[in-house]
Amino acid sequence: MKTEILDYINSLEIIDTHEHLPAFEERRQPNDVIGEFLIHYFSVDLVSAGMSQTGLDKVRGEELSVLEKWDLIERYWQASRFTGYGQAIALAARDIYGIDEINRNSIEELNRRYLESYNEQHYHKVLKEKSKIKVALLDRSGEREWDKNYFIMSHNIGSLIYPSSFNEISGIEKETGIVIYTFDDYLRACEKLIDSLYSTSKILKCALAYQRSLDFTRTEKTVAEKCFNKIIGSKNHSNTSGGFACDIELSNYLFHYIVGLARERGMVMQIHTGIQEGNGNILSNSHPALLNRIFLDYPDMKFDIFHIGYPYQSELGVMCKMFKNVYIDMCWAHIVSPVASRHILDEWLEFIPYSKINGFGGDYCFVDGVYGHQYIARRNIAEVLSEKVVCGLFSVSEACEIAKAILFDNPARLFGIED
Ligand SMILES: [Zn+2]
């Protein structure tokens, strides 16, 4: 029975709700395998295990050989290899490159095979053939073109809501043709930009929990305008690219303004909640319960809430149950904590309608990681569903139906992806 469910899930074509991959395969940045595998995620485990930032910079660079790099990372790699990130990389090495274990003896051969991936259609091989991904929602801040064979853009609107440099503002001016002198000019430019984004994809992404709290308290326009005028007034006209600190009141106002525009157009907003990538941030800024008021205020706007809100997954589950406009997205989660993902999915299947759960998003900056992640996600989901069958909650065919819902049908419906 268990293998029947796993085999079915492994055969499924799936929708990937979130990636950061280069928008075209030609834009992959050539590196060696260690440099690429440590762009993010597993690198955090190595630093957490005690590796220095200088050491990490060195192994990400191009000066050392892979063997010299291995000398620097070996003890941290060994200590971290069983984490979700470590598992995903090991699976990629095994199933994409035929290397059973990444270690001192295999790292050079792994690298040789990895470098060959630049001579083939590697996106096709990994995303389509090996991972059976129909399409992935892509978050590439500010990029307006992407390979439609693999991606649909989820437009990141962070810099509209929380601008931090005059460069960003002049980017909006260029893109919209609206010269921004006043706050109303800025709001008009935002509207024009949202319209143009909408014509290419109806999905928006907000990752502001990396920079500020998700408590978007309502702010009067006059207060926001004052903050905006202060920024514009500080513009140094001989150096127009400089950065500035955006006041929280201005950002709060802009969040509501953008959500209002998105709501009118029937767009869906993906929001980062929970654990932040990297070695240091304010975790509580990302608590999904901070969005409670937003969910109440915009009942006809659909929100896809990321990363199971980990470690606040219970609270997110409750809001998903309470609000019909709140959807749970398990992107990143199966590698952040494979066990927590299984436990909470086990709870959610008896707590919320399964039509509210989007079961997988790779959330990788390099393509090989996506393979490892979807492998773990499929295995996790199969395990949880199999246990429910054993308990007698539903049949094998119902388990398969639920698997297909959370890995394909639900995201297809929410994001308007045609079969
Ligand atoms: Zn992401």
Letter for the amino acid at 236?
A: N
Q: With respect to residue 177, please indicate whether it lies within any of the assigned structural domains.
A: yes
Helices (H) and strands (E) in the chain, counts: 20, 9
Distance 18 CA to ligand 1 centre (A): 6
Specify the DSSP element, H or E, that contains 302: strand 302-305
Show which of 62, 91, 124 is a domain's final residue. Answer: 124
Provide the mean pLDDT of the chain: 96
Shared domain check, 244 and 106: no
Say how many domains are in the chain.
2
Shared domain check, 361 and 340: yes
Distance 296 CA to ligand 1 centre (A): 25
Per-residue confidence band for 1, with pLDDT thresholds at 50, 70 and 90 = confident
Distance 188 CA to ligand 1 centre (A): 28
Distance 52 CA to ligand 1 centre (A): 24
Distance 307 CA to ligand 1 centre (A): 9
* Count of other CB atoms within 10 angstroms of residue 279: 14
Shared domain check, 169 and 296: yes
Distance 287 CA to ligand 1 centre (A): 16
Distance 71 CA to ligand 1 centre (A): 30
Per-residue confidence band for 226, with pLDDT thresholds at 50, 70 and 90 = very high
Shared domain check, 225 and 78: no
**Where would I find the beta strands (DSSP E) of 21-139?**
133-138
Shared domain check, 311 and 223: yes
173 lies in which domain range? 132-415
Show which of 62, 92, 124 is a domain's final residue. Answer: 124
Q: What is the pLDDT of residue 309?
A: 98
Q: What is the pLDDT of residue 404?
A: 98
Alpha helices in 148-213 (DSSP H): 158-161, 166-176, 183-198
Inter-CA distances, 157 with 87, 177, 205, 209, 381, Å: 32, 18, 6, 13, 31
Shared domain check, 266 and 377: yes
CB 300 within 8 A of CB 265: no
Q: With respect to residue 149, please indicate whether it lies within any of the assigned structural domains.
A: yes
Q: With respect to residue 2, please indicate whether it lies within any of the assigned structural domains.
A: no
Q: Using a cut of 0.75, tell me whether the model's pTM lies above it.
A: yes
Shared domain check, 65 and 136: no
* Tokens encoding 211: 């920079």
Whether pLDDT at 237 is above 80: no
Show which of 77, 97, 124 is a domain's final residue. Answer: 124
Distance 362 CA to ligand 1 centre (A): 8
Distance 118 CA to ligand 1 centre (A): 24
Q: What is the pLDDT of residues 95-130, one digit of tens each?
A: 999 999 999 999 999 999 999 999 999 999 999 999
Q: What mean pLDDT is predicted for residues 85-95?
A: 98
Distance 109 CA to ligand 1 centre (A): 30
Q: With respect to residue 19, please indicate whether it lies within any of the assigned structural domains.
A: no
| Residues whose CB is less than 8 angstroms from the CB of residue 94 and which lie 6 or more positions away in sequence, other chains included | 100
Whether pLDDT at 419 is above 80: no
Q: What mean pLDDT is predicted for residues 358-364?
A: 98
Whether pLDDT at 34 is above 80: yes
Whole-angstrom Cα distance, residue 401 to residue 397? 6
Distance 155 CA to ligand 1 centre (A): 12
Distance 352 CA to ligand 1 centre (A): 24
Shared domain check, 153 and 237: yes
Whole-angstrom Cα distance, residue 264 to residue 29? 39
Q: What is the pLDDT of residues 167-223, one digit of tens each?
A: 999 999 999 999 999 999 999 999 999 999 999 999 999 999 999 999 999 999 999
Shared domain check, 324 and 186: yes
Q: With respect to residue 46, please indicate whether it lies within any of the assigned structural domains.
A: yes
Per-residue confidence band for 233, with pLDDT thresholds at 50, 70 and 90 = confident
Distance 331 CA to ligand 1 centre (A): 8
Whether pLDDT at 241 is above 80: no
List the CATH number of the domain containing 387: 3.20.20.140
Shared domain check, 373 and 245: yes
Q: With respect to residue 331, please indicate whether it lies within any of the assigned structural domains.
A: yes
Q: With respect to residue 80, please indicate whether it lies within any of the assigned structural domains.
A: yes
Q: What mean pLDDT is predicted for residues 1-10?
A: 94
Distance 365 CA to ligand 1 centre (A): 9
